[in-house]
């Protein structure tokens, strides 16, 4: 599974998605979007509206919730609170 997650500095949901990947035991590539590379990011992904913005095997997932649902569906994390 190839995972790339675009994050921004100080983003609570970005921190949460990285923790979710850690719980699932998944490796991922993180790209921090800054003022320097934001225009390039928006040009490449014009439908992205915020962070985190994740690509898993070429499927785009905006935000945290859709990624969490995918990981639960795949059995990689549990929906139950520990």
We find that the CATH architecture of domain 3-73 is 3-Layer(aba) Sandwich (3.40)
State pTM to two decimals: 0.91
pLDDT at 62: 94
Q: Which residues of the chain have pLDDT under 70?
A: 81-82
**What are the angstrom distances between the C-alpha of 72 and each of 30, 43, 68, 76?**
21, 31, 6, 6
pLDDT at 44: 95
């Amino acid at each position: 599974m190839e995972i790339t997650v675009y994050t921004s500095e100080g983003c609570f949901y970005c921190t949460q998605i990285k923790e979710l990947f850690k719980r699932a035991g998944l490796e991922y590539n993180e790209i921090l979007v800054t003022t320097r590379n934001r225009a390039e990011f928006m040009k490449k992904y014009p439908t992205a509206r915020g962070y985190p913005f994740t690509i898993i095997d070429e499927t785009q997932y905006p935000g945290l919730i859709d990624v969490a649902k995918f990981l639960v569906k795949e059995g990689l994390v549990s929906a139950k609170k520990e």
